[in-house]
Amino acid sequence: MKNTNGSKFDQDKSSKVLNDLKQASEADYSTSTAELPPPGGRISAITSNLRALGRMMQPGRPHRPVYLLLFVTNSCHARCAHCFYWRETNKPVQTLSLPEIDSLCASLGPMVQVTLTGGSPELRDDLPQIVNIVRRRCHPLNLTICYTGDLPEVIEAQVRESLEANPGLKLAVNISLDGLGSDHDRYRRRKGLFDRAVESVKRLTQVRDDYPNLCVGCGICVHGLNSDGAIATARWAMENLSLDNLSPVLVRGDTYDQDARNGDVEAFLEIANFTRDRLHSGEFRGYSTATHRLINAKDIVQKEMIAEIARGGSMPVVCSALHDTAVVYADGSVPICEMRDETIGNVRDYNMDLGAMWTLPEAYEKRRGILRGECSCWHHCFLSTPIVREPRLWKRLARHAFFSARKQSI
């Protein structure tokens, strides 16, 4: 055990909750999955969601994360110009096993948001089991999977299996599209990826016919190479794919290709505005959660805020890193956030108890630095929960929530 000297890390508590699962080996995981709680009905979902939201709405109090970005693999078929994770992709690492992910999720309890990302999550054969674990241990208000879209058949099968095993699961699946045709392939250095990504979206929209809780979206990264093309791609996707949502992302971090830095803020905002208008008009359904109006409204405000920060404004809310929002990389290391290299350790060294790591002295120290404003950025995941919690923004949120998704019926 690392760093127990002088730390508030409660080894007994962590061991009590997690020890049995920690003993499970990869080989006998079937025993462990048999012990997973059932997916639960509507009442247990509501109870879990309220508990997670209750935790989130306490701004000052240290609490376990409610928003998790879990890198399920670092394997990736692409080599994207805008990738901030490029130094780690395809490196030989010991990826978190199912029992380890189970222990991690058991330590967190109810969550607001869990995002499964990578690498290319479709390369992980056991992804549906990871979804089972997340759903049954954390019951998130929304679970998102970010795919490159490289393996349409695999993606369709994984999503179907996940939804079949977890009735009522609120699942959002995002397929990345940053350009049209060969432009997309060039940005991502993967021949034929555009066609396969589009095929993935089309297959997912068919899955949605059977599982209306599925929200099918496209993520469009606006970076230094595609500013004009990004708008055309967004328009094309809106007109040709039956999407529920579109998520523009403004490039950030230490990109693989230096020319990809400095995305055009105005292009990003234009795509964000199309999306807002479609959410208002009901042409986009947005998320399928019970609180979809609030989440859609949060997304709209978040995009406006990202543009304000990227134009040189200060962060209007305090970043949620080391507070609400946690990142766990494929090898278990826990960075402060996706933008900074420093880690607070590896969750494997803490019995997979991520919440316990939040109480480490170094985590407090780094959190204090964030509260003092030692860094600033527009990473959307770290703005999400503070936006919902900030009373100054409630009027703005309420206005968008009122207009958003009036035609939704889930």
Classified as helix, coil or strand, 216 is strand
Q: With 0-12 CB in 10 A as exposed, 13-18 as middle and 19+ as buried, what is 80?
A: buried
Shortest CA distance to 14 belongs to which of 356, 384, 357? Answer: 356
> How far apart are alpha carbons 226 and 228 in whole angstroms?
6
Q: Is 379 in the site for ligand SF4 (CB under 6 A)?
A: yes
To 10 degrees, the CA torsion angle through 360, 365, 370, 372? 150
Please state the closest distance from residue 179 (CB atom) to ligand SF4, in A: 13
Query: Tokens 């985590």 — which residue?
Result: 363
Q: Is 271 in the site for ligand SF4 (CB under 6 A)?
A: no
Please state the closest distance from residue 20 (CB atom) to ligand SF4, in A: 33
Comparison of 303 and 379: residue with beta carbon closer to ligand SF4: 379
The residue within the footprint of ligand SF4, chosen from 351, 382, 384, 386 (CB under 6 A), is: 382
Q: Is 69 in the site for ligand SF4 (CB under 6 A)?
A: no
- Under 8 Å between Cβ of 261 and 339: no
Comparison of 79 and 202: residue with beta carbon closer to ligand SF4: 79
Comparison of 99 and 118: residue with beta carbon closer to ligand SF4: 118
Both structure tokens of 285:
């359904």
The residue within the footprint of ligand SF4, chosen from 134, 363, 377, 401 (CB under 6 A), is: 377
> How far apart are alpha carbons 388 and 302 in whole angstroms?
10
x-marked contacts with ligand SF4 along 32-61 as a string, rule CB under 6 A: ------------------------------
DSSP letters spanning 48-88: HHHHHHHHHT-SSS----SEEEEE-----S---TT-S-TTT
Comparison of 17 and 326: residue with beta carbon closer to ligand SF4: 326
Q: Is 319 in the site for ligand SF4 (CB under 6 A)?
A: yes
Q: With 0-12 CB in 10 A as exposed, 13-18 as middle and 19+ as buried, what is 228?
A: exposed
Q: Is 147 in the site for ligand SF4 (CB under 6 A)?
A: no
CB count in 10 Å sphere of residue 2: 13
Element (H, E) at 301: helix 292-310
Element (H, E) at 97: none
Q: For ligand SF4, which stretch binds (CB under 6 A), given 105-113, 116-124, 162-170, 229-237?
A: 116-124
> How far apart are alpha carbons 251 and 76 in whole angstroms?
19
Q: Is 174 in the site for ligand SF4 (CB under 6 A)?
A: no
Q: Is 404 in the site for ligand SF4 (CB under 6 A)?
A: no
Comparison of 73 and 288: residue with beta carbon closer to ligand SF4: 73
Q: Is 121 in the site for ligand SF4 (CB under 6 A)?
A: no
Q: Is 363 in the site for ligand SF4 (CB under 6 A)?
A: no
Q: Parallel, antiparallel, or unpaired for β 343-346 and 333-335?
A: antiparallel
Q: Is 108 in the site for ligand SF4 (CB under 6 A)?
A: no
Q: Is 388 in the site for ligand SF4 (CB under 6 A)?
A: no
Q: Parallel, antiparallel, or unpaired for β 171-176 and 245-250?
A: unpaired
Comparison of 247 and 288: residue with beta carbon closer to ligand SF4: 247
Q: Parallel, antiparallel, or unpaired for β 67-71 and 113-117?
A: parallel
Q: Is 287 in the site for ligand SF4 (CB under 6 A)?
A: no
Q: Is 339 in the site for ligand SF4 (CB under 6 A)?
A: yes
The residue within the footprint of ligand SF4, chosen from 375, 396, 403, 408 (CB under 6 A), is: 375
Q: Is 336 in the site for ligand SF4 (CB under 6 A)?
A: yes
Q: For ligand SF4, which stretch binds (CB under 6 A), given 10-18, 348-356, 368-376, 391-399?
A: 368-376
> How far apart are alpha carbons 254 and 88 in whole angstroms?
12
Comparison of 76 and 354: residue with beta carbon closer to ligand SF4: 76
Q: Is 323 in the site for ligand SF4 (CB under 6 A)?
A: no
Q: Name the β-bridge partners of 117.
A: 71
x-marked contacts with ligand SF4 along 72-91 as a string, rule CB under 6 A: ----x-xxx--x-xx--x--
Please state the closest distance from residue 266 (CB atom) to ligand SF4, in A: 22
DSSP letters spanning 353-394: -HHHHTTSHHHHHHHHHHHTT------THHHHHHHHH-GGGH
Q: Is 214 in the site for ligand SF4 (CB under 6 A)?
A: no
Q: Which residues bind ligand SF4 (CB under 6 A)?
A: 76, 78-80, 83, 85-86, 89, 118-120, 148, 188, 319, 321, 336-337, 339-340, 370, 375-377, 379, 382
